[in-house]
Amino acid sequence: MNVLVINAGSSSLKFQLLDTNTREVFAKGNCERIGIEGSFVGYTVNGEKKQLDVDMPDHKTAVQHVFEILKAVDKPIEGIGHRLVQGGWYFPESKVVTDETLGWAREVAPLAPLHNYAEADVIEICRDMFPELGNVIVPDTAFHYNMPERAWRYALPRDVVDKYHVRKYGAHGTSHRYIWRTVDEFTNHETHKLVSCHLGSGASLCAIEDGHCMDTTMGLTPLDGLIMGTRCGTVDPATVFYLNRVGGYSIDDIDTMMNKKSGLLAVSGVSSDSRDVRDGAANGDANCQMALDMFNYRASQLIAEMAASMEGMDTMAFTAGIGENSAEIRAAIVDRLGWLGVKIDPELNDVRSDDPRVISTPDSSVKVLVVPTNEELMIALDVEALLG
Ligand code: ADP
């Protein structure tokens, strides 16, 4: 089935047209600076890289450009899959777009206002422009929806939790689900307790037991858990009250500080990109070194926490920009888990490949893998399962 996958942000719209059978990607690209001066579409069609400098005052224009671009691909589009960052309390799995499911996407939008409103708008635009095509909503939170209550419930008053739907929702669920599927296949169904480590600009871990999410490190929003490119991860929630009352920061200031000005960027004082931080550390910058140390320290701590939520772990898988590419960070994280008997082979860790691979030693207590993620394919497979 030829599926168009759309991942809309407040000022961007990523797209990919792929075949779920052959897994061939016919076209992919990104509409950038939507609603901002200097908008353009960078894309690759039939293997050729191109850029289209066009006015995109809104998402509707962006969608029109995408469909115009896709005319160069001589393949009919048979369905559209939309990533939804926050599915809230409505989406235990992906769902076909209807008035009702679209309404749900909007109802839960206050939990992820920067993403959900734009995503819901784009879903509606696609449905209205191409009523003959089926559209499917694939929420990033769905995979975590049925984690045990002891994991999702916050120890806050029940009436508050119920009224405001305050709980752990997690994120990166589509990636963690893809990692489970791939690891399960790759290890011949011998994996039962997997810790999936999605380490990119945003980063989260997921404890997966026999395909079911048992816990994850992101919370009500993606701010919780690991240290990330610009997010602080877990801090004492009272930090917010203190900065507000004593520091004079508004709630919006603190929101921006914790989501956009913290993490690797804040500690290194150099960059949110782990490669710049690595280069800084290599040149003797102590703040860069501390940023890396903290990132690895927290990752190893939380991997052990995820393992504890399953009372064990037989496999770990690294994925996303850092997890797939940084042998140094993988080694530093696993090194801190030596007390659990986890060992990686430095030579295997240095191998570069686009395929899933083992990097642990034969005597390691836990199999350690590197598995390139593919959220677009996972979304497309959901579209096929629901519409195909
Ligand atoms: P997101 O999709 O969340 O924006 P990515 O999964 O693309 O993020 O990950 C971005 C991170 O991956 C950056 O910190 C970047 O430094 C890191 N990264 C990407 N490529 C490499 C590489 N070749 N070596 C080391 N780190 C890399």
DSSP H or E segment with residue 384:
helix 375-387
Please tell me whether residues 250 and 349 are part of one structural domain. Answer: yes
Please tell me whether residues 362 and 220 are part of one structural domain. Answer: yes
Active-site residue, 140 included: yes
2 bridge partner residues: 19
Does the residue 376 lie in any domain? no
Please tell me whether residues 115 and 25 are part of one structural domain. Answer: yes
Q: How far is the CA of 48 from the centre of ligand 1 (A)?
A: 24
Q: How far is the CA of 64 from the centre of ligand 1 (A)?
A: 30
Please tell me whether residues 239 and 298 are part of one structural domain. Answer: yes
Please tell me whether residues 260 and 339 are part of one structural domain. Answer: yes
Does the residue 241 lie in any domain? yes
Please tell me whether residues 97 and 246 are part of one structural domain. Answer: no
Write down the catalytic residue from 140, 184, 215, 224: 140
Please tell me whether residues 135 and 215 are part of one structural domain. Answer: no
**Predicted local distance difference test score (pLDDT) of residue 284:** 98
Two structure tokens written together for 49: 């890289």
Ligand 1 atom 21, closest CA: 325
Neighbours of 216 (CB within 10 A): 31
Q: In angstroms, how far is CA 29 from the centroid of its own chain? A: 18
Please report the sign of the dihedral spanned by the C-alpha atoms of residue 234, residue 228, residue 313, residue 152. positive
pTM, rounded to two decimals: 0.96
Does the residue 50 lie in any domain? yes
Residues with CB under 6 A from ligand 1: 200-202, 229, 273-275, 320-322, 325-326
> Which is it for strands 79-84 and 2-8: parallel, antiparallel or unpaired?
parallel
Does the residue 179 lie in any domain? no
Pocket test for ligand 1, best of 176, 201, 260 (most atoms within 8 A of CB): 201
| 202 CA: nearest ligand 1 atom | 3
Q: How far is the CA of 320 from the centre of ligand 1 (A)?
A: 7
Residues of the chain with pLDDT under 50: none
> Which is it for strands 135-139 and 95-96: parallel, antiparallel or unpaired?
antiparallel
Q: Domain count of the chain?
A: 2
Query: Do residues 315 and 359 lie in contact, with contact meaning Cβ atoms separated by under 8 Å?
Result: no
Q: How far is the CA of 330 from the centre of ligand 1 (A)?
A: 13
Annotated binding-site positions: 7, 14, 83, 198-202, 273-275, 321-325, 375
State the CATH number of the domain containing residue 12: 3.30.420.40
Does the residue 54 lie in any domain? yes
| 229 CA: nearest ligand 1 atom | 14
Annotated binding-site positions for ATP: 14, 198-202, 273-275, 321-325
Looking at 200-262, list the stretches that DSSP marks H as alpha helix, in order from N- to C-terminal side. 238-245, 251-260
Please tell me whether residues 105 and 200 are part of one structural domain. Answer: no
Structural domain including 116 reads 2-139
Please tell me whether residues 266 and 340 are part of one structural domain. Answer: yes
Helices 113-129 and 99-107: crossing angle, nearest 10°? 160
Sheet with 40-45: strands ordered across: 48-53, 40-45, 25-32, 13-19, 2-8, 79-84, 135-139, 95-96
Pocket test for ligand 1, best of 326, 333, 373 (most atoms within 8 A of CB): 326
Q: How far is the CA of 171 from the centre of ligand 1 (A)?
A: 18
Residue type, 196: S
**Predicted local distance difference test score (pLDDT) of residue 129:** 87
Does the residue 351 lie in any domain? yes
Does the residue 233 lie in any domain? yes
3-state secondary structure of 253: helix
Does the residue 158 lie in any domain? no
Query: Do residues 361 and 343 lie in contact, with contact meaning Cβ atoms separated by under 8 Å?
Result: yes
Please tell me whether residues 203 and 72 are part of one structural domain. Answer: no
Please tell me whether residues 225 and 314 are part of one structural domain. Answer: yes
> Which is it for strands 357-358 and 95-96: parallel, antiparallel or unpaired?
unpaired
| 373 CA: nearest ligand 1 atom | 6
**Dihedral angle, C-alpha 62, 376, 177, 293, nearest 10 °:** -80
**Predicted local distance difference test score (pLDDT) of residue 342:** 98
Quick one: which of 249, 284, 252 has its CA closest to 270?
A: 284
Two structure tokens written together for 280: 């800084």
Ligand 1 atom 7, closest CA: 321
Dump pLDDT digits (tens) for 74-130.
Answer: 899 999 999 999 999 999 999 999 999 999 999 999 999 888 999 999 999 999 988
